[in-house]
Amino acid sequence: MKRFAIVGASHRCLSMFVRGLEGMRGKTLEFIAIYDPNRTRCEVFRKEVGDGLTIYSDYDQMMQTEKPDGVIVATTDNTHADYVIRTLRYGCDVYCEKPLTNTYENCLAIRKAEKESGKKVYVTFNCRFMPYFAKLKELVRSGVIGKIHSINYEYILNRWHGGDYFKRWHGMMEVSQGMLLHKSTHHFDVINWLLEDEPVSVSAMGLKSFYGNPERCLGFRCSQCDKTAECESYKSQSAPMDKALYFDAEHEDGYIRDRCAHRPETDIYDNMSVSVLYKKGTLLTYTLTLFAMKEGYNMTLIGEKGMIICHHFGKDGEEKQDYEIELLLRENEVEKITFPRAEGAHGGGDVKLREMMFGDPQPDPLGQAADSFAGVASAMIGIGANESIKTGRVYDIASALDTLR
Ligand SMILES: NC(=O)c1ccc[n+]([C@@H]2O[C@H](COP(=O)([O-])OP(=O)(O)OC[C@H]3O[C@@H](n4cnc5c(N)ncnc54)[C@H](O)[C@@H]3O)[C@@H](O)[C@H]2O)c1
């Protein structure tokens, strides 16, 4: 049984790992300790796990006292690298939330520390585990559409979901490096994994088109705003987990979860367009927009022998019941591949990831468990894209990845 410590008393960690792994606790793993500067949030975790979970206000003290076998890192994105590296140096495997990190220097430092430690970094890229993408991977791998020359991937979020990122730490470049890291790291990883290829170069454009507009800024925070009825990004803090983790804990560190999505100080983009060239000659055209009326994605893969169309949009805010992938091997002859919707968060991906990474050992025929190279390969597309937006030039990812092997 593996003894785990947690770094980051975050919402994600509570739902994905502590609650999500409840059935495995006492069998394949146990949670023994938690570190987060915010004690109130740690107490929420202890209530959930029990008195066996020791709370630490000092990370090194936790590692030295508890000597865990593994550490789950689920803090704000800008702090991942520090804990990943220090955990490796303590001789522990690390399970890090995405993105693995969000700067090139941190990518380099993580890869170096991993090699020196002989321990392993896993990145919890749950999209790879969605039955939808697993099916797509099988299709691509089967070679049915031949060599893939072109992928068009459009991802759009509605104003409630998209606006949510502007309410807290994600809205500041310094912390999240924006959505091309925080959100698109999933999407870039899925493409890298589907193609079994590496990105060579990226060029991008980005705008803050909708959020952070002082004319739309309705109030300091949702819970003190009297115009919530007219706001498409209104976020209530009434859900018990939100109240316990954020509202009741904000007196300690001033982390306010429901700030106005239109507060002017945010500096991330909400409207992005990215082109990526891959080593084997695939061109990816990707867009991410955070202020739509409906959310979902379109992905079209065009190959030598055929094409695959993925079209996945919510219906009245709900996800579609059945999943569908369209396969075309001749003009206008559409074969519909349908399969039932999977249960659980993130299209069923979270459940599968937990089974693979935290359950009894099992085969991984599709290569779904992501390592640190996958983490840096995906991150470098976002890092390069941000750089390209700033400079207006194409960013050379291949040279960066060569230093990260
Ligand atoms: N895989 C997914 O689908 C998915 C979904 C949501 C979030 N995430 C990831 O999970 C992580 C947590 O996200 P969240 O929205 O749940 O976060 P959150 O805002 O709920 O919590 C962030 C936590 O980090 C802590 N923290 C901040 N600075 C710290 C530091 N220097 N040292 C230690 N702790 C620190 C805060 O006190 C807070 O408890 C992020 O990396 C995010 O990208 C992944």
How high is the pLDDT of residue 391?
A: 98
Q: Which of 17, 42, 72, 75 to mutate to test the pocket of ligand 1 (most atoms within 8 A of CB)?
A: 75
How high is the pLDDT of residue 317?
A: 46
Residue 43 lies inside a defined structural domain of this protein: yes
CA distances from 5 to 35, 61, 72, 103, 328 (A): 8, 12, 6, 25, 48
Let me know whether 121 and 156 are in one domain: no
Domain boundary, last residue among 66, 95, 126 = 126
Domain boundary, last residue among 243, 264, 285 = 264
What number of residues does the chain have?
A: 405
- Say if residues 347 and 131 touch (Cβ distance below 8 Å): yes
Let me know whether 306 and 395 are in one domain: yes
- 10 Cα: distance to centroid of ligand 1 (angstroms): 5
Residue 348 lies inside a defined structural domain of this protein: no
Measured CA to CA, the distance from residue 108 to residue 399 in angstroms comes to 12
Let me know whether 18 and 88 are in one domain: yes
Q: Which of 59, 62, 76 to mutate to test the pocket of ligand 1 (most atoms within 8 A of CB)?
A: 76
Let me know whether 259 and 182 are in one domain: no
Let me know whether 281 and 383 are in one domain: yes
- 195 Cα: distance to centroid of ligand 1 (angstroms): 29
Residue 363 lies inside a defined structural domain of this protein: no
What distance lies between CA 118 and its chain's CA centroid?
26
Residue 297 makes CB contacts below 8 A (sequence gap 6+) with 153, 154, 155, 156, 310, 312, 313
Residue 358 lies inside a defined structural domain of this protein: no
Residue 314 makes CB contacts below 8 A (sequence gap 6+) with 294, 295, 296, 320
Tens-binned pLDDT, residue by residue, of the chain (405 aa) = 999 999 999 999 999 999 999 999 999 999 999 999 999 999 999 999 999 999 999 999 999 999 999 999 999 999 999 999 999 999 999 999 999 999 999 999 999 999 999 999 999 999 999 999 999 999 999 999 999 999 999 999 999 999 999 999 999 999 999 999 999 999 999 999 999 999 999 999 999 999 998 888 878 899 999 889 889 999 888 899 999 999 999 999 999 999 999 999 999 999 999 999 999 999 999 999 999 999 999 999 999 999 999 998 876 545 556 789 999 999 999 999 998 878 888 888 999 999 999 999 999 999 999 999 999 999 999 999 999 999 999 999 999 999 999
Let me know whether 206 and 320 are in one domain: yes
> Does 218 sit in the ligand 1 pocket, CB within 6 Å?
no
Q: Which of 12, 96, 177 to mutate to test the pocket of ligand 1 (most atoms within 8 A of CB)?
A: 12
For ligand 1, atom 37: residue with the closest CA? 38
- Look up the domain containing 250 and give its range: 213-264
- 16 Cα: distance to centroid of ligand 1 (angstroms): 12
Q: DSSP secondary-structure letter at 233?
A: T
**How many domains does the chain divide into?**
3
The DSSP secondary structure of 114-169, one letter per residue, reads HHHHT--EEE--GGGGSHHHHHHHHHHHHTTT-SEEEEEEEEEEEHHHHHHTTSSG
Measured CA to CA, the distance from residue 386 to residue 378 in angstroms comes to 13
Let me know whether 252 and 384 are in one domain: no
> Does 344 sit in the ligand 1 pocket, CB within 6 Å?
no
Let me know whether 271 and 232 are in one domain: no
Residue 353 lies inside a defined structural domain of this protein: no
Q: Which atom of ligand 1 is nearest to the CA of 14?
A: 16
For ligand 1, atom 31: residue with the closest CA? 79
- 34 Cα: distance to centroid of ligand 1 (angstroms): 13
For ligand 1, atom 3: residue with the closest CA? 126
How high is the pLDDT of residue 193?
A: 98
Let me know whether 178 and 220 are in one domain: no
How high is the pLDDT of residue 307?
A: 98
Residue 356 lies inside a defined structural domain of this protein: no
The DSSP secondary structure of 258-270, one letter per residue, reads TB-TT-TT----S
Let me know whether 20 and 111 are in one domain: yes
Domain boundary, last residue among 201, 231, 264 = 264
Domain containing 277 — which CATH number? 3.30.360.10
Let me know whether 144 and 182 are in one domain: yes
> Does 74 sit in the ligand 1 pocket, CB within 6 Å?
yes
Let me know whether 256 and 287 are in one domain: no
- 8 Cα: distance to centroid of ligand 1 (angstroms): 6
> Does 9 sit in the ligand 1 pocket, CB within 6 Å?
yes
Domain containing 110 — which CATH number? 3.40.50.720
Residue 11 lies inside a defined structural domain of this protein: yes
How high is the pLDDT of residue 363?
A: 97
- 248 Cα: distance to centroid of ligand 1 (angstroms): 17
Give the β-pairing of 93-96 and 70-73.
Answer: parallel
Residue 71 lies inside a defined structural domain of this protein: yes
